[in-house]
A and B are shown apart, each in its own frame.
Chain A
């Protein structure tokens, strides 16, 4: 039987009736057509489905849509503002941290969660923050550099 849920997605209030066996990932992709979050393994092992739930990065394939009732969700679509890329997104582009792009939304959101909590991470802290996100293309190096670069850009913005 469907439940009525109300949640904030990328700053906007959303209301929907969902079956309990629907995951947050399915709801975002299929009901809201926010296809930036990807279905990789469906079991919490790859991080392609990463979203930020109440400020914390989670595998949305392991959250029921009904569990997101009353909560705040940030997806990759919520990062750019007025068509301008978020510094983390820009850094990924500038540093060549994107190959096929499948892991990218998850990587960027894990990076955002890291930089929100820890604006000046060490390389080790960056690697730890993305340790739940698998990338089969890049070998991670450019991703780590991009996140480091984004940290500096964001710090620079805050100072000025």
Chain B
């Protein structure tokens, strides 16, 4: 399968990259991992006349802990790096888990968190965990910089608030408080090389190991035009003692907050059933993790 012709740029500094993006605007696409962009170009879905590679821009692929209670993840960090990173697995489990389920091993060695977020496919793996972690996204352009919450980033399939001249530079997440636990469940017809039929990420914080829920976040993918936070289900849970019945009710509420479609991966009816089941399972798993939290 052939790639169409394009002009290739390999800026060696961030400034150079941003300058190119300002100049070329909508005629250019950023190349990070290439596992989405090059596929789209081969299928003639995207036809950029210019491709700007981030390969030589320094600092974009680093995971930098900050002050012991936050982490900055460069947008060029690969899924494989996220999946295997000790701090990610320990304190930001939903993100590490989701990264480990993205595509397949070889895809994970190329695919980046920036690409997964900016491409904004409704069934993408990394948006739901970023959403339950309330990630802040740093967007930079030649003109300036701004920060957007990931929960306000997605507008529709393939659409985000990012402008053509802006680059997603990094993803910032705060370490969840003590007695927090998270989970990620991906449902598909097969265990690998799969795009979700339904996926769900949760983060749950208890007051104490036997105590009530003080905070909970639930995000679902592949069940609406964008990944969604199930705020209604979250409200139901806060302040309550965790229980099977409670999680069951949260699952039921979750269904009402989604608008899945019928497509070749699954019917709307089945997806609705799965939202209920998987929300409950994800909460159960997050609870287990929260109860076994260690400093």
Chain A positions near chain B (C-beta within 8 angstroms): 1, 3, 19-23, 39, 41-45, 47, 50, 53, 56-59, 61-64, 66-67, 110, 128-129, 131-132, 134
When chains A and B are docked, how far (Å) is the Cα of A125 from the Cα of B6? 40
Comparing B34-42, B152-160, B198-206, the segment that makes contact with chain A is: B34-42
When chains A and B are docked, how far (Å) is the Cα of A62 from the Cα of B34? 6
Chain B positions near chain A (C-beta within 8 angstroms): 1-8, 10, 31, 33-35, 38-39, 42-43, 51, 53, 55, 80, 103-107, 109-110, 191-193
Give the shortest distance, in Å, between B37 (CB) and chain A (any CB). 9
Q: Is the CB of B1 within 8 A of A43?
A: yes
When chains A and B are docked, how far (Å) is the Cα of A43 from the Cα of B35? 8
When chains A and B are docked, how far (Å) is the Cα of A53 from the Cα of B55? 14
Q: Is the CB of A64 within 8 A of B34?
A: yes
Q: Is the CB of A131 within 8 A of B192?
A: yes
| Contacts A20-B6, A62-B110, A66-B10; A43 near B42 (Cβ below 8 A) | yes
A129 touches which of B3, B33, B51, B105 (Cβ 8 Å):
B105
Give the shortest distance, in Å, between B14 (CB) and chain A (any CB). 18
A67 touches which of B55, B107, B193 (Cβ 8 Å):
B55
| B residues in contact with A63, CB < 8 Å | 34, 110
Give the shortest distance, in Å, between B123 (CB) and chain A (any CB). 15
Number of residue pairs A-B, CB distance < 8 angstroms: 85
Q: Is the CB of B80 within 8 A of A44?
A: no
Give the shortest distance, in Å, between B48 (CB) and chain A (any CB). 11
A50 touches which of B2, B35, B39, B106 (Cβ 8 Å):
B106
Give the shortest distance, in Å, between A99 (CB) and chain B (any CB). 21
Which 7 residue pairs across A and B have the least CB separation, nearest first?
A132-B104, A42-B1, A20-B8, A131-B192, A21-B3, A56-B109, A132-B106
Q: Is the CB of B8 within 8 A of A44?
A: no
Q: Is the CB of B53 within 8 A of A44?
A: no
The residue among A59, A128, A134 with the most chain B CB atoms within 10 A of its own CB is: A59
Q: Is the CB of B3 within 8 A of A132?
A: no
A23 touches which of B3, B10, B105, B107 (Cβ 8 Å):
B3
| Contacts A62-B39, A131-B191; A47 near B106 (Cβ below 8 A) | yes
Q: Which residue of B is nearest A130, CB measured?
A: B105
B106 touches which of A3, A20, A43, A57 (Cβ 8 Å):
A57
Give the shortest distance, in Å, between A126 (CB) and chain B (any CB). 12
Q: Is the CB of A57 within 8 A of B105?
A: yes
Q: Is the CB of B192 within 8 A of A132?
A: yes
Q: Is the CB of B1 within 8 A of A58?
A: no
Q: Is the CB of A110 within 8 A of B42?
A: no
Give the shortest distance, in Å, between B58 (CB) and chain A (any CB). 14
Q: Is the CB of B106 within 8 A of A58?
A: yes
Task: Apart from A21-B4, A43-B42, A131-B192, list 18 A-B contacts with CB within 8 A.
Answer: A1-B7, A19-B5, A23-B38, A44-B35, A44-B39, A47-B104, A57-B105, A57-B106, A58-B106, A59-B106, A62-B38, A64-B3, A66-B53, A67-B31, A132-B103, A132-B106, A132-B107, A132-B193
Q: Which residue of A is nearest B55, CB measured?
A: A67
